[in-house]
């Protein structure tokens, strides 16, 4: 999902707007695709970025511990995926009421699903957000996660997941405006009305090279 993909543009816009809304550092896996879109959006907002890079991403044939354009002091190179997940979780945990963080899951593959369900389990077990809740948003662009959500409903039918349990732990959003409105409400922040926000996002998208 590179720069020519609709989800790349949507992610770039979302990252930029969240960075501005929460005035936060944007942490990613410092990899290609939508991770790159999230980095680019935060940089457009002139907000800090950080990353936990894996030497070899899925689908890549070469190994590199170096990011193509980020300064080396802004990311760490991890040998194992578990180290990346640990770093991202630490970045999401709020240490005070003044911290405004969020976990945002974008369309992705096996690694993304691994991260999503680990964070979901940590929230479920109150290892994340027990004192200071952290919003967990799943971006369901173009119904990308529709079948995954259907599967979780099947789990409820079988009794392996309690009714309504998973839906109470995360927020499924189809659009950027929906996600931004949710974050603004979560942290009691001012936010423009949805129609105005959609217009602003479309205008910003037209300006993206």
> pLDDT tens digits for 43-52?
999 999 999 9
Q: How confident is the model at residue 201 (pLDDT cuts 50, 70, 90)?
A: low
76: β partners = 52
Q: How confident is the model at residue 154 (pLDDT cuts 50, 70, 90)?
A: very high
Q: How far is CA 40 from the centre of its chain?
A: 14
Q: How confident is the model at residue 109 (pLDDT cuts 50, 70, 90)?
A: very high
Q: Where is average pLDDT lowest: 3-7, 55-59, 147-151, 159-163?
A: 55-59
**Residue 104 has which token pair?**
């945002």
Per-residue pLDDT tens digits for 167-180: 999 999 999 999 99
Whether 76 contacts 87, CB under 8 Å: yes
List the 75-78 sheet strands across, edge first: 26-28, 49-54, 75-78
- pLDDT of 66 reads 85
Kindly report the average pLDDT of the chain as a whole number. 89
Segment 156-174 shows an average pLDDT of 95
* Distance, CA of 125 to CA of 17 (rounded, Å): 30
Considering only residues 113 and 209, tell me which one the structure prediction assigns the higher pLDDT: 113
- pLDDT of 130 reads 85
Q: How far is CA 24 from CA 27, 101, 146, in A?
A: 9, 7, 30
- Domains in the chain, please, with CATH? 6-143+172-206 (3.40.50.450)
Segment 181-209 shows an average pLDDT of 68
Q: How far is CA 61 from the centre of its chain?
A: 25
């Amino acid at each position: 999902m590179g720069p020519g993909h609709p989800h790349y543009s949507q992610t770039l816009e979302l990252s930029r707007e969240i960075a501005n809304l929460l005035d936060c550092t944007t942490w990613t896996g410092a990899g290609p695709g939508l991770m790159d879109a999230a980095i680019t959006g935060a940089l457009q907002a002139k907000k800090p970025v950080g990353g936990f890079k894996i030497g070899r991403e899925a689908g890549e044939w070469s190994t590199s511990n170096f990011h193509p354009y980020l300064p080396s002091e802004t990311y760490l190179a991890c040998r194992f995926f578990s180290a990346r997940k640990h770093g991202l979780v630490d970045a999401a945990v709020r240490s005070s009421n003044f911290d405004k963080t969020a976990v945002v899951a974008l369309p992705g593959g096996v690694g993304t699903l691994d991260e999503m369900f680990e964070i979901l389990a940590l929230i479920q077990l109150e290892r994340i957000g027990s004192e200071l809740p952290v919003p967990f948003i799943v971006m369901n662009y173009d119904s990308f996660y529709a079948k995954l959500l259907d599967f979780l409903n099947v789990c409820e039918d079988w009794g392996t997941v309690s009714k309504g349990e998973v839906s109470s732990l995360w927020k499924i959003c189809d659009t950027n405006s929906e996600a931004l409105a949710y974050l603004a409400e979560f942290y009691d922040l001012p936010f423009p009305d949805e129609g105005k926000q959609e217009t602003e996002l479309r205008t910003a998208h037209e300006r993206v090279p």
